[in-house]
A = this chain, B = another copy of it.
């Protein structure tokens, strides 16, 4: 997950300014995506404390010390032998730093409710605990040029995977095999893993919102959705294409054309300074004009970065994901546009791309042909 070209000190500086703004003394981190963002090392089963005074203490399994030293920007790396030691050791870190009664921001949309209660009761019993999302998402949402390079690399890998899926797609092959060919091609192109399970949803299964590949055999006439989210250098691309296995029904072909047109209007609305929900508006207007009112799902976009779905999350969905509402498109955002799709009784179509909002306008990073 690490990439030593990132300027972590600059990230700590920006975090410190937001901590100052919000009266927060330290960020208490356990989510791998956030550990990666702030330290360069996003392994599971690690904890970090990033203070406003820019100390960064990380605790990791003892066996990982050597590899963490290679990749982490933390100022202080500590080892633990087991989970209990990890948690108790962190109480001591807070005490050492004089933060026992401080205001600590915690990843409330990452910790499960049971673990959150254990943490607050046993590690932070005297602290004032606030959510970390307003600080972390504001930072992670705007990508720096080094992050854009990683996202471009992930997008190229997704394109390679989609090309492999397209080559393998034919009647008689299983969804699982298509997924396997796409994954192998992405591995060979440099994928480190998958930010989301690979979806290959054919025929009636394409009508579902979530369609992980199954042993179902692809048949002539099937609509096939392929959704890929490879991780490269710790960053994800998010991409979906819909393939039509001939002879396909006319309504599926027209739905696909209408969705591609709507998605392109959505992409065109992703301009720095524009209203963020204008992307939704542009897609909805196009789909409604083409007769698909009430036949598509939302949200039609979301942020993409270390996670394949991250801030900005539009509208009311933000609350459910524990995120802040964001009003404007900003240069440096990277968005997955085309999320969800048109869903009918017997089929569904979805086309999604990873789009970089550059100063000059929206730049599609995933580029495999849509029709």
A361 CB-CB contact with B under 8 Å? no
The interface-forming segment of A207-215, A244-252, A260-268 is A207-215
Question: Which residues in B have their C-beta under 8 angstroms from that of A319?
Answer: 118
Interface-centre pick from A133, A183, A187, A348 (highest chain B CB count, 10 A): A187
Q: Contact partner of A62 among B81, B115, B343, CB < 8 A?
A: B343
CB-nearest residue of chain B relative to A122?
B319
Known interface pairs A61-B297, A188-B176; A83-B213 also in contact (CB < 8 Å): no
CB-nearest residue of chain B relative to A114?
B322
Q: Are B197 and A194 closer than 8 Å at their CB atoms?
A: yes
Known interface pairs A113-B109, A210-B45; A191-B176 also in contact (CB < 8 Å): yes
Q: Are A207 and B109 closer than 8 Å at their CB atoms?
A: no
Q: Are A115 and B176 closer than 8 Å at their CB atoms?
A: no
Q: Are A208 and B67 closer than 8 Å at their CB atoms?
A: yes
Known interface pairs A110-B112, A112-B108, A114-B108; A83-B316 also in contact (CB < 8 Å): yes
Q: Are A187 and B193 closer than 8 Å at their CB atoms?
A: no
Question: Which residues in B have their C-beta under 8 angstroms from that of A193?
Answer: 179, 197-198, 212-213
Q: Are B111 and A207 closer than 8 Å at their CB atoms?
A: no
Q: Are A320 and B209 closer than 8 Å at their CB atoms?
A: no
Tell me the smallest distance from the CB of A176 to a CB of chain B, in Å: 4
A13 CB-CB contact with B under 8 Å? no
Question: Which residues in B have their C-beta under 8 angstroms from that of A197?
Answer: 193-194
Which chain A residues in 271-299 approach chain B with CB under 8 Å?
294, 297-298
A116 CB-CB contact with B under 8 Å? yes
A7 CB-CB contact with B under 8 Å? no
Q: Are A63 and B207 closer than 8 Å at their CB atoms?
A: yes
A84 CB-CB contact with B under 8 Å? yes
Q: Are A63 and B177 closer than 8 Å at their CB atoms?
A: no
Question: Which residues in B have their C-beta under 8 angstroms from that of A181?
Answer: 184
A182-212 interface bits toward B, Cβ cutoff 8 Å, 1 = contact, 0 = none: 0110111011111001100000110111101
Q: Are A118 and B320 closer than 8 Å at their CB atoms?
A: yes
Question: Which residues in B have their C-beta under 8 angstroms from that of A191?
Answer: 176
A-B contact pairs, 9 of them (CB 8 A): A45-B210, A81-B297, A84-B316, A108-B113, A111-B113, A114-B322, A180-B186, A190-B215, A193-B212
Question: Which residues in B have their C-beta under 8 angstroms from that of A348?
Answer: 63
